[in-house]
Structure 1
Amino acid sequence: MPLYALRHGATPTGGFRGRLDDELTAEGWAQMHAGLTDAPAWQAIVSSPLKRCRLFAEQLASQLDLPLTLDEQLRELDFGQWEGRSASDLLADPAQADALSRFWQDPYQHPPSGGENLHAFEQRVMDAWQRHSQIAHQHTVLLVCHAGVIRQLLRLAKREPRSALMQAMVEHGSLHAIPLFAPHSH
């Protein structure tokens, strides 16, 4: 049985939002509800503590009368100096355009300035995965989290190289079935 991951919906402002704690817009709420249209019956919900995930997870857990666990390790990557800035803003800034391009090509070698190390990010996502995948062997678990976390889980499940991290499409409100896998890296 896979573990499922739902990306949060749209927030009032775009751009890199790792540690910023935005709430969802009405569109964001609708995206998340739409993402669960053909979803299985959940038995447990685990969420990032950030509002754009947590508020929806709390509402869903209450509505379905399910246990909810908040997990700090499911937070998005910390984008450091890029927090709150859009890609187009960074590309227009000569001091940042090259750094952003290098990040998209190889985020492990070129993390955002002042941001989280990608090896540390991978390890914390793997630590969360190990805990929650144990539960998923017997229960249908929904993770409510962020694009970076979902990309990392998909990459690890497919045993893709680290260079493939940025290739997965993870839209707002999208639901992803992640097959259970033994943790590894690379």
Structure 2
Amino acid sequence: MSTTRIDLIRHGEPEGGNVFRGRTDHALTELGRWQFAERVRRFDSRWTRIISSPLNRCHSAAEQLASARNLPLLCDERWAEIDYGDWENRDVSEVMAEYADDSRRLWADPLNFCAPNGEPVPQLQQRVGAAWQELLNDHRGEHLLLVSHGGVMRVLAQQLLSLAPEAMNRLAIPYAGLLRFKIDHSEYQGKEQVWVSLEGMDGSVLRPDDQEAV
């Protein structure tokens, strides 16, 4: 039997305020850069490589960490956030008021949700699931750090933990929130068996004046 560990960390706070960010490529704020570095400090591990969404709010921090640790960095488009289409870069409260029925569906029935001209959630599930399986096939036995987005992390957790679809939006994943998955690989009667468990998580909101962060 072998074990793979994959730590998923959300990017820190980006510029642009409270908007449907999706594929909008905002950079991190100063606070966002600190949040990412602080979460890494708290959960520091002997990662073997880093995988990142290509969007700036993920890739910039991942690239800096990979350079500092002399780790290989893989950038994969499949780990990018969902495309919100016509909602991209629009204020969340304004969109929820203008598209009340659609926004309610996002929370109540996410598998049938798609922002106007955006990416359907099942399509997000498909690309994220394929990327995850590729990581397990190519990097079995390693300890990976995956830098991605809140929507991606919720969809993946829902799939891996067999949660009800509507439960994915009940997972609080703040900026620089982290999920740690343990994947045990074994064989039974000549067939590969894979068992995934959530080994740890940190959903605390990080602020520089937080006493725990001192």
Q: TM-score, normalised by structure 1?
A: 0.91
**1:68-87 maps to which residues of 2 (within 5 A)?**
68-87=73-92
Counterpart in the other structure of 1:33 = 37
CA–CA separation in structure 2 for the residues paired with 1:154 and 1:180: 13
Counterpart in the other structure of 2:100 = 97
Contact 2:84-2:118 at 8 Å conserved across structures:
yes
Q: Which one has the bigger strand percentage?
A: 2
- 1:44 lines up with 2:49 in the alignment: yes
User: Tell me, which stretches of 5 or more residues in structure 1 are unaligned?
Assistant: none
CA–CA separation in structure 2 for the residues paired with 1:7 and 1:15: 16
AA aligned to 1:68 is L
What per-residue deviation string (whole Å, max 9, x for no partner) do you get for residues 104-143 of structure 1? 1112212211110111110000011011123453211000
What per-residue deviation string (whole Å, max 9, x for no partner) do you get for residues 42-61 of structure 1? 11000000000001011000
Structure with max Cα Rg: 2
2:180 is paired with a residue whose SS is: strand
User: Tell me, which stretches of 5 or more residues in structure 2 are unaligned?
Assistant: 185-193, 196-214
Counterpart in the other structure of 1:120 = 123
CA–CA separation in structure 1 for the residues paired with 2:59 and 2:24: 13
Counterpart in the other structure of 1:159 = 162
* Structure 1 residue 177, shift from structure 2 partner: 0.5
What per-residue deviation string (whole Å, max 9, x for no partner) do you get for residues 67-97 of structure 1? 000000000000111111232112332xx12
Higher mean alpha-carbon deviation, 50-59 vs 111-120, is at: 111-120
User: Could you say which structure has the greater relative contact order, defined with CA pairs below 8 angstroms and 6 or more residues apart?
Assistant: 1
Counterpart in the other structure of 2:21 = 17
Question: What is the number of residues matched between the two proteins?
Answer: 181
Contact 2:5-2:141 at 8 Å conserved across structures:
no
Counterpart in the other structure of 1:57 = 62
Aligned-residue sequence identity (percent) comes to 35
1:2 is paired with a residue whose SS is: strand
* Structure 1 residue 40, shift from structure 2 partner: 1.4
AA aligned to 1:17 is R
Contact 2:112-2:120 at 8 Å conserved across structures:
no
CA–CA separation in structure 1 for the residues paired with 2:10 and 2:28: 12
Higher mean alpha-carbon deviation, 162-171 vs 124-133, is at: 162-171
